């Protein structure tokens, strides 16, 4: 069933797509955006099941929606103007950097509890600045809901256009580091070291592209903001040398950060309200989203890839993991014995030339194991593309996946 929605200026249409069906949506007239992405006129966009989002119009628009929804309503009380004000402040800093006032544009870190809208705000800020012709670096430190690649990783990519609300970020050569678990709790030392590695490679990337430096970075973080989570946030701020902290929706966190960085004149710590439209996602939805990210990696967003089964001799592959058991140095790298326990394990293929480079090397991609055959002494795996593995050094964490 098709319905029409008239959006007045500065109003948004909040939509939850059901678990079991897709939703089509098109812009009929006026102008509207989804988290910084301008809707093309008269073109149906197809949203997958369980998608939650808002179509916002600054000046008024008519939208057509085709399909059933779990929830759909308009709202004219939104924090969008304050988000745009932050964007203007960042643009000023970028202009200053471009004029040579400093070598880098703002290094913005977005912090806040789970489901406060950090990823959505990051996409808006990236979208708005890329429309000005800038190419900011987007860094995603969220292990559970990483926007760039599979869960259990941290990653970065230059963004030169608004983020497509259906297909997500373009995935040309992101920098990806493998942590291997969906929460930093199990091995915070490893998470911290990987953040440092990603920060170094991000800065080297920026140095290699001086024309992109003034756009700076937008860093999205995980939603764990208490106890160890708070300490890891401080580590992230420190590793990336962040100079703008955007605190979403938690006054106490804002207060704590203000006192933490009291006297640091170069640091802006800005509190911004959470949108009431942000949807709280329960464990089931989070797990479902993680599975879809895995599926997307192997099959493509619209199932356009044909993942390939292949095999490799036990003797031709070396699998390692960090801090494999309690009581062991969490940064200790140990070889993983080949056993049936590997079935359904997701392994990261590293670019490292030798095991001691495994921490600092970025990844070529991921495979998952489907069979351990002791008769032929071969491991059978699935990769997203055909051909031999680009390297024989792989990393394992606790991630499992199968498309069964
Ligand atoms: N204004 C809005 N209206 C409707 N849905 C929204 C709105 N803003 C965000 N959402 C949706 O709410 C969900 C949570 O938002 P988002 O991912 O931005 O939060 P987050 O703080 O990054 O979460 P996490 O800490 O778990 O990564 C997402 O599905 C997002 O698309």
ipTM: 0.98
Ligand 1 centroid to residue 123 C-alpha, Å: 11
Residue 327's pLDDT is 65
Ligand 1 centroid to residue 228 C-alpha, Å: 23
| Strand arrangement, sheet containing 52-57 | 37-38, 33-34, 52-57, 11-16, 71-75
Residue list for the binding site for ATP? 12, 52, 115-120
Ligand 1 centroid to residue 358 C-alpha, Å: 33
53 CB within 6 A, ligand 1: yes
Q: Where are the domains of the chain?
A: 2-78, 80-272, 306-400
Does 2-78 match 80-272 in CATH topology? Answer: no
Alpha helices in 153-308 (DSSP H): 188-208, 210-213, 227-239, 251-260, 283-299
223 CB within 6 A, ligand 1: yes
* Assigned fold of 80-272: Rossmann fold (3.40.50)
Provide φ and ψ at 203, rounded to 5°.
-65, -40
pLDDT lower than 50: segments of the chain: none
152 CB within 6 A, ligand 1: no
116 CB within 6 A, ligand 1: yes
SS3 state at 218: strand
Residue 304's pLDDT is 76
14 CB within 6 A, ligand 1: yes
117 CB within 6 A, ligand 1: yes
- Could you identify the atom of ligand 1 that is nearest to the CA of residue 122? 18
Q: Copy the structure tokens of residue 96.
A: 């200053």
Q: Copy the structure tokens of residue 165.
A: 């609300």
Relative to beta strand 23-30, strand 61-66 is antiparallel
378 CB within 6 A, ligand 1: no
- CA atoms of 343 and 356, how far apart (whole Å): 26
322 beta partners: 333
Mutation pick for ligand 1 pocket among 34, 37, 120 (CB with most ligand atoms within 8 Å): 120
275 CB within 6 A, ligand 1: yes
115 CB within 6 A, ligand 1: yes
Mutation pick for ligand 1 pocket among 139, 163, 279 (CB with most ligand atoms within 8 Å): 279
Mutation pick for ligand 1 pocket among 51, 71, 80, 115 (CB with most ligand atoms within 8 Å): 115
Residue list for the binding site? 12, 52, 115-120
Distances (CA, A) of 377 to 234, 260, 355, 382, 393: 46, 55, 22, 17, 18
Superfamily of domain 2-78: Clp1, DNA binding domain (2.60.120.1030)
226: left (phi over 0), alpha (psi -120 to 50) or beta: beta
Q: Taking the domain 306-400, which CATH number applies? A: 2.40.30.330
Atom 3 of ligand 1, residue of closest alpha carbon: 277
């Amino acid at each position: 069933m098709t319905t029409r929605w008239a959006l007045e200026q500065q109003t948004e249409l909040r939509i939850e797509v059901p678990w079991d069906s897709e939703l089509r949506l098109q812009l009929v007239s006026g102008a509207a955006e989804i988290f910084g992405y301008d809707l093309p006129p008269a073109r149906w966009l197809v949203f997958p099941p369980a998608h939650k989002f808002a179509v916002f119009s600054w000046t008024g628009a008519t939208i057509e929606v085709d399909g059933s929804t779990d929830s759909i309503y308009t709202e004219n009380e939104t924090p969008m103007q304050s988000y745009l004000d932050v964007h203007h402040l960042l643009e000023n800093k970028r202009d200053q950097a471009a004029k040579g006032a400093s070598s880098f544009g703002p290094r913005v870190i977005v912090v806040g509890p789970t489901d406060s809208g950090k990823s959505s705000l990051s996409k808006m800020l990236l979208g708005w600045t890329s429309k000005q012709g800038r190419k900011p670096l987007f860094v995603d430190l969220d292990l559970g809901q990483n926007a760039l690649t599979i869960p259990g990783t941290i990653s970065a990519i230059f963004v030169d256009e608004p983020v497509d609300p259906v297909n997500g970020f373009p995935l040309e050569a992101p920098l990806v580091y493998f942590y291997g678990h969906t929460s930093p709790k199990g091995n915070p030392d490893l998470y911290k070291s990987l953040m440092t590695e990603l920060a170094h490679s991000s800065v080297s990337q920026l140095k290699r592209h001086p024309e992109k430096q003034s756009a700076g970075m937008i860093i999205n973080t995980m939603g764990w903001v208490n106890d160890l989570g708070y300490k890891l946030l401080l580590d992230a701020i420190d590793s990336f040398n962040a100079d703008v902290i955007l605190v979403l929706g938690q006054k106490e966190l804002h207060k704590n950060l203000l006192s933490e960085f009291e006297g640091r004149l170069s640091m802006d710590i800005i509190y911004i309200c959470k949108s009431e439209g942000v949807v709280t996602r329960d464990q089931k939805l989070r797990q479902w989203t993680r599975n879809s990210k895995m599926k997307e990696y192997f099959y493509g967003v619209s199932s356009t890839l044909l993942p390939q089964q292949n095999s490799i001799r036990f003797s031709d592959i070396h699998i390692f993991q960090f801090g494999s058991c309690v009581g062991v140095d969490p940064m200790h790298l140990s070889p993983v014995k080949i056993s049936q326990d590997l079935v359904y394990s997701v392994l990261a293929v590293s670019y490292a030339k030798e095991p001691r480079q495994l921490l600092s090397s970025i990844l070529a991609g991921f495979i998952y194991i489907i069979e351990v055959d002791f008769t032929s002494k071969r491991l059978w795996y699935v990769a997203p593309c055909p051909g031999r593995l680009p390297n024989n050094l792989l990393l394992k964490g606790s991630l499992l996946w199968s498309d069964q």
